[in-house]
Structure formats: structure tokens, C-alpha cells
Copies of this chain bind each other. A is one copy, B any other.
Amino acid sequence: MRFVKAVTSPDSPDFLPVPERIAVFDNDGTLWPEQPLIQAVFLAARAKAMLREDPSWADREPAVAAAASGDFDYFHREGEAALMALVAATSAGMTDAEFNSLVDEFFATSTHPTLGKPFTGLAYQPMVEFLDLLRSEGFQVFICSGGGMDFVRRVSGPMYGIPAANVIGSSLAKEVGDADGRTAVWRLPELASFNDRAEKVKNIALHLGARPVVAGGNVRSGGDIAMLTYSSEGPGPSLQLVVNHDDPEREFAYAEADRMTLNAAEKNDFLVISIKDDWVTVFDDGPPEPYELSTAGENR
């Protein structure tokens, strides 16, 4: 709040004109939980549904069989190629509109395995309040997620007030073609961008053309360090936030073996948030709101 006041008060030496008020946030572990990764739950659910509809998938694609049976060791063993095979089978070979329908159905019918709430009820309440504060002070707020851009876009509006167009994420290659006689965007079984580490900086340049003055990430894989550092190296005032997951009671507790993100935070003056000590509320405790399908975008 001290930072926001400093950059928005007209007579402050740190005042920033409205167009420079740009904030980006990672999503998994920064705006909602990542234990388990929610998109991984989606992929597993999709694999199960595919096997039910067509049992021949079991022979045709071992990654589908492994995901459907919860054999996550398979993916650790087989590495990135196996994960990409799963993404290709579950999320490509269809139009954006078809994929969006699958994602909408998932969010409308699934709940978190241990937290007992729909995934769409799991936005971190203090972060939502911070996004609201930023927007009320003229900031443009974006997500820059390692997760699938199209996946996150379906819920960014209802959960965080972030329009689909303000979501940057990993993406598949696509091509423009035809579906039922109308122009359609087809999803190809090939990664166009894995939005992690330095790629996050590159995609921020592609989507925003700006060095954000606010950036938020979290401790887990070091995937946000490049983006946080980029934000911190601008010519003027800036703020970087790092969510540290240290609350096994209300959320989860996990750390990086190499302390990479916390080390970067110490070196570069990123502000570390302790979920345990700093957040009065983690999730909005009210009754879960009925999930409303995102009306943004390509849904028919």
C-alpha cells in the first residue's frame, strides 16, 4: 500500500503516469493453489473421459492411460515428451471453441481433492484484494502463467476480474481453418511457447511491450525469478512480491531445495509474503458462489 501510494500521488517523487502502471502476476501458487496443479487435474479428468468414450486410447497413447489411472510416476520417468503427448491428446486436434467448452465443463463440475471447494472458489483472497486496489489506482493487471493461456483465460474474469486478453501463458501452435463452414482456430499438437523463466520476459514483451512496475510470483520452481528481476530493473520505482507457502493448516507448505527464489528475493529486495503470518484470510470463507461460465471469448 505504501508503494501504491508513492506511485499514484501526483506530488510524489515516485509518481508514475497511468500508462506505466502495469502489473503482472504468476497464477499457480501466486493467485490460486498449485497442490496439485489444477491444469494437471483437468488433464487427468480429460484422459479418463477419453478412455471411457474410446478404450482404444489405452493402446494408442500410454500418456493418456497413465494420466487416467493417476500414474504420475510415468510422467516423472518419461519426462517432457510424455507430458507433451498428454497435452496433444487431450487439448489439441480440436478448435479453440471446443477446448473452451471442455474447460468450462471441468470448472463447473470439479472440486479440489483436499480443500473441498470448487477450484474457482480458491483464489487467494488477499491477492484478489490487491488486484482490486491496483485497478482502482489505474493499473493494468495481467496474468503471466506457466499454465496454459487458454485454460486460465476461462476463469480469469470471474475469479480475478482479469479479462481473457490480459492473460499470458503457455500456448499451443494453432492454425486458421474451417469448422462447419465457419472460420475457426484449430489447436495443433505442438507447443508454441512454454511460458516459464526467461520465456515469461519474452512473452511480456510480446503481449505488453512494457517492463511491469509490479510483479508477483511464488516459491516453488524458480520459474518467476526472471520476470521478477526484469520488473525490478526498471529505471524507476517498482514492487516485487513472492508468495511463500508455509501454512500447512490453511493451505500447503513446500519449499525449494535450492532456495533459489528466496535467495533472489534477498538479493533484489523482493517482498516475501508468508501465507501463515501475513494473511488473515487465505480463501474467501463465504458459501461457494455458483460458477458462472466465462462469457469472454470463443465459446461457440
User: Which A residues are closer than 8 A to B by beta carbons?
Assistant: 17, 19-20, 22, 96, 140, 142, 149-150, 153, 157, 163-167, 171, 174-176, 182-183, 185, 198-199, 201-202, 205-211, 226, 229-230, 233-235, 294-298, 300
Contacts and interface: CB of A to CB of B under 8 A. Distances in A.
A73 to B, nearest CB: 34
B210 A164 contact: yes
Contacts of A22: 165, 296
A209 B174 contact: no
A171 B206 contact: yes
Contacts of A175: 202
Contacts of A153: 209
Contact of A165 (B201, B210, B298): B210
A153 B296 CA distance: 24
Contacts of A205: 96, 174, 185, 298
Contacts of A20: 295-297
Contact of A17 (B142, B182, B234, B295): B295
A207 B298 contact: no
A226 B211 CA distance: 32
Q: State the 4 A-B residue pairs at the shortest beta-carbon distance, nearest first.
A: A210-B297, A19-B296, A182-B233, A176-B198
Contact of A163 (B19, B174, B176, B182): B19
A210 B297 CA distance: 3
15 contacts: A19-B157, A19-B163, A20-B295, A22-B165, A149-B209, A165-B166, A165-B209, A167-B209, A176-B202, A183-B229, A205-B298, A209-B298, A211-B297, A211-B298, A234-B300
A7 to B, nearest CB: 12
A292 to B, nearest CB: 10
Given A164-B209, A175-B202, 18 more contacts: A19-B163, A19-B294, A19-B295, A19-B296, A140-B165, A150-B209, A164-B208, A164-B210, A165-B166, A176-B230, A183-B201, A183-B230, A185-B202, A205-B298, A209-B298, A210-B296, A211-B297, A235-B300
Nearest to A182: B233
Contacts of A226: 176, 183
Contacts of A176: 198-199, 201-202, 226, 230
A208 B19 contact: no
A233 B183 contact: yes
Contacts of A165: 22, 140, 142, 166, 207-210
A202 B183 contact: no
A35 to B, nearest CB: 27
A207 B153 CA distance: 11
Contact of A174 (B164, B174, B206, B300): B206
Contacts of A19: 157, 163-164, 294-297
A166 B298 CA distance: 18
